[in-house]
Amino acid sequence: MSLLVKIGGLSTPETLETALEAGADMVGFVFFPPSPRHLSLEAGRELSRQVKRRALKVALTVDADDATLDNIMDALSPDIFQLHGTESVARLRDIRQRVGRPVMKVVPVATSADLAVLPGYAEVAERILFDARAPKDATRPGGLGAPFDWHLLGNLELALPYMVSGGLSADNVAEAVRVTRAGGVDVSSGVESAPGVKDPEMIKAFIRAARASQDASQELSVR
């Protein structure tokens, strides 16, 4: 199965085009004001038009209310909602019903105990995204450039597709895929020259490295 590559937190036409041309499967847009990658609805609308159908559009929200979700649907018409807050299983169910789109629940990980929430979320979400748990004093739950211990997912048995994020870069994405056996990878700060400023060459390098990691794993399985 093909490895899904997501470039998150895109905010300019130029870097979005780089991600699309380099072959990203998913492109992510952040609607969360504390983030340096936050987009206005109008900016999201313009970028959405640029995507057309070349990749899946992912809208990241954090404990968003219904009005915010409705506004994002109107502006972006995303293919997937990435829920990065403390949303409960019941709230996930409500959101999925309201927006009529698949939901990807972010599960922050620091210890194996953090995986206890998976059975509940697996009943509702279409996909899980594992990210590093943010420090207690952090102003946002992700995009902080910190990895978690990937070996915590080493014996994971999850029927749902899952992705990994948190501190990924072109240098370590192959190891992340090898250890976690994830079906997808998500990068944001790892392709930035400064918080919120995407670097086109880093985007291309990450996608190349992610694709190469898949080729290597397929080669090993054939042997």
pLDDT tens series, the chain, 223 aa: 689 999 999 999 999 999 999 999 999 999 999 999 999 999 999 999 999 999 999 999 999 999 999 999 999 999 999 999 999 999 999 999 999 999 999 999 999 999 999 999 999 999 999 999 876 665 555 555 679 999 999 889 898 999 999 999 999 999 999 999 999 999 999 999 999 999 999 999 999 999 998 766 555 444 4
| Rounded Cα distance, 145 and 15, in Å | 19
Which residue's entry shows tokens 């698949």? 102
Say whether 42 sits in a helix, a strand or coil. helix
The enclosing H or E element of 49 equals helix 41-51
What is residue 222's predicted lDDT score, i.e. its pLDDT?
41
pLDDT of res. 146: 78
Query: pTM here?
Result: 0.92
